[in-house]
């Protein structure tokens, strides 16, 4: 498995190695094939607003966008899961609103984005509940591992409550 990260923002000091390790752990937890590849971009609100407008017709910033790869684009040697774009400006605001670290918020957004790449959605109420439940399971798994400094000293319960009530 491979995670490629592009940091195109200056609002948050991103620990690229740690984010890669967390992304890989989530990919394993979700059963991604060994030849999976994920691309991530950290950007500001202006960049994600433009993407949100171009691809979703919403002329406003959002926290995370996921772009799954289409089946015809797959190369047998590499299973491209897709791209995740995270706005650190929005992550900062949401972290403040939910009273936790921006690092924890970025992990929550990463989980959400990766689940979209694995086929989860939240348009219908049933799908919303399934996705939120899976987000909570993954977050608890990551907190239980206690190997990610971004989650040190953080109890999973408030973060799980955050993913359960969002959207």
Does position 167 have pLDDT exceeding 60, yes or no? no
The per-residue pLDDT for range 47-64, each reduced to its tens digit, is 999 999 999 999 999 999
Q: How far apart are CA 88 and CA 160, in angstroms?
A: 20
Report pLDDT for 144.
Answer: 81
pLDDT score at 81? 84
* Count of domains forming the chain: 1
Quote the domain boundaries for residue 90: 2-165
What's the CA dihedral at 161, 106, 111, 57 to 10 degrees? 100
Backbone angles phi, psi at 153, to 5 degrees: 75, 5
pLDDT confidence band for 131 (50 / 70 / 90) = confident
Q: What is the pTM of this model?
A: 0.85
* CATH number of the domain to which 160 belongs: 3.40.390.30
Residues 45 and 64: their CA atoms lie apart, in Å, by 10
Taking only the tens place, the pLDDT of each residue in 67-121 is: 987 655 555 666 778 899 999 999 999 989 888 889 989 999 999 999 999 888 8
């Amino acid at each position: 498995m491979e995670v490629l990260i592009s940091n195109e923002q200056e609002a948050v000091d991103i620990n690229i190695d740690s984010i890669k390790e967390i992304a890989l752990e989530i990919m394993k937890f979700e059963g991604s094939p060994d030849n999976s590849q994920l691309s991530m971009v950290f950007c500001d609100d202006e960049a994600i607003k433009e993407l949100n407008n171009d691809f979703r017709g919403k002329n406003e910033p959002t926290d995370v966008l996921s772009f799954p790869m289409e089946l015809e684009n797959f190369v047998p040697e590499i299973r491209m899961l897709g791209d995740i774009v995270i706005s650190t400006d929005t992550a900062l605001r949401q972290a403040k609103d939910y009273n936790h670290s921006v690092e924890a918020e970025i992990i929550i957004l990463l989980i959400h984005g990766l689940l979209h790449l694995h086929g989860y959605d939240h348009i219908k109420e049933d799908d919303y509940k399934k996705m939120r439940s899976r987000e909570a399971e993954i977050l608890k798994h990551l907190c239980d591992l206690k190997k990610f400094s971004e989650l040190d000293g953080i109890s999973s319960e408030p973060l799980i409550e955050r993913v359960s009530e969002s959207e």
